[in-house]
Structure 1
Amino acid sequence: MSIPPAASKVVIHVAAGIVNDTKGRVLIAKRPEAAHQGGLWEFPGGKLESGESVEQGLRRELAEELGIQVCVSRPLIRLSHDYRDRRVLLDIHQVLDYQGIPQGREGQPLEWLTPEEMDADRFPAADRPVISALRLPSRYLITGAAPAAPDAFLMHLEQRLARTGVPIVQLRAPWLDTDRYADLARRCAALCRRMGALLLVNCEVELATRLPVDGLHLSEQRLLALDQRPDLGRCLIGASCHDADTLARAATLGLDYALLSPVCPTRSHPESEPLGWKRFAELVDPAPLPVYALGGVGDPDLQIAWRHGAQGVAGISGFWSRSS
């Protein structure tokens, strides 16, 4: 059987929804055995009809499939995936409010799972980055300059976590040597566990394997030096990116997320030309992984970040340096 060239493949535009219950679990539905990717689980939704917006199609599909009325939703992630015979364009929305009790109105089995319980092998390949997006928060703190003494650094981190509630932290401290960085990382890891946050280290891969942390963040230089994803078990792995090539590299290595910067002008890198939101969206649209907006952004920019395809916002000044 010959495989159609990419240009001739049928493009199927799908709107799907992330529907949560009161326990924070996500609703998934099983595809009919006779369907494309039959027998696998997916997020409820379906093909857009001619002239429909994503929001209109989502409301119609979830009403037909589940018997619920979507009241409020927001973009979560947009993905394109090539199968042998077709290309699927997925617009995934987080359903923030709905009415009704979800039921399999088309006879499809339903299941409620937390994102951590989801097994990517049970889902179509196109849906797998969605699981990463569900496991990641919308706000991401990067540590910055602080008093050199570890105790003062930890006190500042504790204060910022308590005030902002950001659930993921990247320990960025390039001024420390390896031993001092490792010691600080161990102490930060204990603090983050106590406060319910994840800690990612920004260091050499080998050092990360020896630290009790939740993940590794790769600098652009470290990203480009790798030819495969580091073997860190179930740890999150992300990378700093600045253009289409580095985003593609992060996706090829199967990383869990990327930081794309700078979106807006920053005081820390005044020489860097900002991407702006339009260019940010153009770079993120083909990227098959969650991407955070970084550079001159913070909590007030979450809505605009979501509208431009971002997982959320990351920052030093927005979360680490602010006094409020």
Structure 2
Amino acid sequence: MHVMAGVLVDGAGRILIAQRPPGKHLAGMWEFPGGKLEPGEAPLAALERELDEELGIAVDPLSFVDLIRVPWNYGERAMLLEAVVVRAWSGEPRALDAAAIAWRLPHDIDPAMLAPADRPILAALWLPEHYPITPADASVATASTLVRAALARGERLVQWRLPGVAQDDARAGAAALLPEVARFGAQLMLSRDIDGARQLGTGVQLSSVQLRELTERPLPLGQLVGASCHDPDELALASTLGCDFATLSPVDATQSHPDAPPLGWPRFAKWAENASLPVYALGGLGPADLAVAKMHAAQGVAGISAFCA
């Protein structure tokens, strides 16, 4: 079942969500308005029709921007949920087919209130395009300086990865940075340290080994969980576990893992398009690769050396 979802964004940056009415599957939960394609109907035409029927508005297709495609299974019901950002329409949205509608800033929406298939859409809305990672050989002092520089230049999601530093020292360094991270409205992700993330209230980036060992999401919704993936099976595990996003690597050859065969962009795009969560391209990449990455279904680019100059 192919379903289109419209992410209406107003001039204040708020997005519209709709509550599913009584008697429907997942009644009471919130979602992005839209609906399934009719036989022979083109996806964007279906979105126009659905938003007219559900909200009473006429949307401008010239304002459409593809956001994310989410393959999803509700039990035995398989669907492809395709989300499109809509920035121009005529008419005032009304709850014609929903219990209620509401305008909310993306960061003010609790993911738990959304239908599960709609949560990756919310993540794709507020996750940034860059995901810098601290160098593996950095000290706490050096990594702290790099994080502060990243925040100052506009980065809003940073992975705190210090494998050569004692865990307690790495946690203390992260704790010292958190007031500045919060002041910039950013997120710090602890690499592999689930207990540290719980203690500090940060996010965590899971290794592929952790991904295969865990049986449930390690942090509550609202605390970001990322997953380091290298193939479609790991991407599927990340989705099943309820991770908010993944990195997929290596796209290109890297200095840190010179023996790992690169995926290349065509394979990356194929795997990312079939994933059910936002995916960052990682491996030999930097900010200059963002446009290419976005053309190949990436949320954005992640990297180490190219982000730490």
**Which category describes the TM-score, using the shorter chain as reference length?**
0.7 to 0.9
2:140–2:170 Cα contact (<8 Å) kept: no
Deviation at 1:257, TM superposition (A): 1.4
Deviation at 1:233, TM superposition (A): 6.5
Equivalent runs, 1:144-223 vs 2, <5 Å: 144=135, 148=139, 150=141, 152-163=142-153, 165-210=154-199, 212-223=200-211
Provide, for residues 270-321 of structure 1, a one-character-per-residue CA deviation record: whole Å limited to 9, x for no partner.
Answer: 3221112221222223322222111233334334433433222212133223
Matched, 1:296 2:284: yes
Q: Distance in 1 between matches of 2:176 and 2:218?
A: 23
Provide, for residues 103-143 of structure 1, a one-character-per-residue CA deviation record: whole Å limited to 9, x for no partner.
Answer: 22846442112334434454433223323333422321111
Q: Which residue does the alignment assign to 1:241?
A: 229
Question: 2:293 pairs with 305, 309, 312, which one?
Answer: 305
Q: Which residue does the alignment assign to 1:9?
A: none
Q: Which residue does the alignment assign to 2:32?
A: 43
Q: Which residue does the alignment assign to 2:93?
A: 103
Aligned to 2:93, what secondary structure does the other structure show?
coil
Segment of structure 1 superposing worse, 191-200 or 299-308: 299-308
Aligned to 1:201, what secondary structure does the other structure show?
strand
**Aligned partner letter, 2:4:** A
Count residues in correspondence.
306
TM-score (norm 2): 0.85
**Aligned partner letter, 1:184:** G
Q: Distance in 1 between matches of 2:152 and 2:209?
A: 33
**Aligned partner letter, 1:226:** L
Q: Distance in 1 between matches of 2:2 and 2:257?
A: 39
Q: Which residue does the alignment assign to 1:139?
A: 130
Provide, for residues 180-231 of structure 1, a one-character-per-residue CA deviation record: whole Å limited to 9, x for no partner.
Answer: 2122211222332233311111143233333x24211112222223232224
Q: Distance in 1 between matches of 2:201 and 2:19?
A: 35
1:146–1:153 Cα contact (<8 Å) kept: no
Matched, 1:90 2:78: no
Question: 2:247 pairs with 259, 273, 276, which one?
Answer: 259
Q: Distance in 2 between matches of 1:229 and 1:14?
A: 27
Q: Which residue does the alignment assign to 1:113?
A: 104
Provide, for residues 9-62 of structure 1, a one-character-per-residue CA deviation record: whole Å limited to 9, x for no partner.
Answer: xxx212212111223221112445455555543212233345555444434544
Q: Distance in 2 between matches of 1:99 and 1:63?
A: 10
Q: Distance in 1 between matches of 2:41 and 2:291?
A: 23
Instruction: Let me know the Cα RMSD of the aligned residues.
Output: 2.8
Relative distance call for 1:71 and 1:203 in structure 2 (3 A) is same
Relative distance call for 1:302 and 1:175 in structure 2 (3 A) is same
2:134–2:143 Cα contact (<8 Å) kept: no
Deviation at 1:251, TM superposition (A): 1.9
Which runs of no fewer than 5 residues in structure 1 stay unpaired?
A: 1-11
**Aligned partner letter, 2:17:** I
Aligned to 2:132, what secondary structure does the other structure show?
strand
Q: Distance in 1 between matches of 2:229 and 2:245?
A: 10
1:200–1:213 Cα contact (<8 Å) kept: no
Aligned to 1:16, what secondary structure does the other structure show?
strand
Relative distance call for 1:232 and 1:125 in structure 2 (3 A) is closer
Q: Which residue does the alignment assign to 1:278?
A: 266
Segment of structure 1 superposing worse, 252-261 or 280-289: 280-289
Segment of structure 1 superposing worse, 133-142 or 113-122: 113-122
Q: Which residue does the alignment assign to 2:5?
A: 16
